[in-house]
Structure 1
Amino acid sequence: MTIVIATHKSEEIAEFADRVLVLQEGRAAAFDTPGAIFADRGLLDRCWIRPPQVSALANRLTETGHPLPGQFPVLLTQAEEQVMKWMNGGQG
């Protein structure tokens, strides 16, 4: 089943979408998973996208040389799990 949602609310996108189509000036700029979209700082800046707060934190950690282990977090529960893993030296 496919459901199309048009929104500027990144938290809703993170929670409900499996795939995201980003439009820039009416043209497709990107089509990928929420994690891939919110991890792409260049795309975020170019298209004026504000990522979910947990994704912004993950981007900042990556920029400072402290990337979280595993899949890029878009939900608080994902970030919590990855921070716990990170604090335990990469062990679950």
Structure 2
Amino acid sequence: MTAIEYRRDALPAPKSLAENLLFMAGLLGTLYKAEEAAAQVSGDVPAVVREAQQSANNTAGRRASRGSRQGFLLTSEERQAIELRAALLAT
């Protein structure tokens, strides 16, 4: 899981929130594309996915955890629903 933390008493402007949402949705899109393109070996996390997770963790101000795995795979329909919701929230 990746997040950008905001203090309750210091929320950024709506434009900044929208930009952050689009950035995070872009990271999610990168993960989905990498997942679809990678030849999966059971239990192996592709390098592109690890790099995207590490980038997202760095953006959130966290160090990447060792051996972290998502633990589940979303269906195409679930990914599309998440992407649609993110796009609706961004507009």
What range describes the TM-score normalised by the shorter chain of this pair? under 0.3
Q: Which has the higher contact order (CA 8 A, sep 6+)?
A: 2
Report the TM-score, using the length of structure 1 for normalisation. 0.23
Richer in strand (by share): 1
The structure with more radius of gyration = 2
Report the TM-score, using the length of structure 2 for normalisation. 0.23
Richer in helix (by share): 2
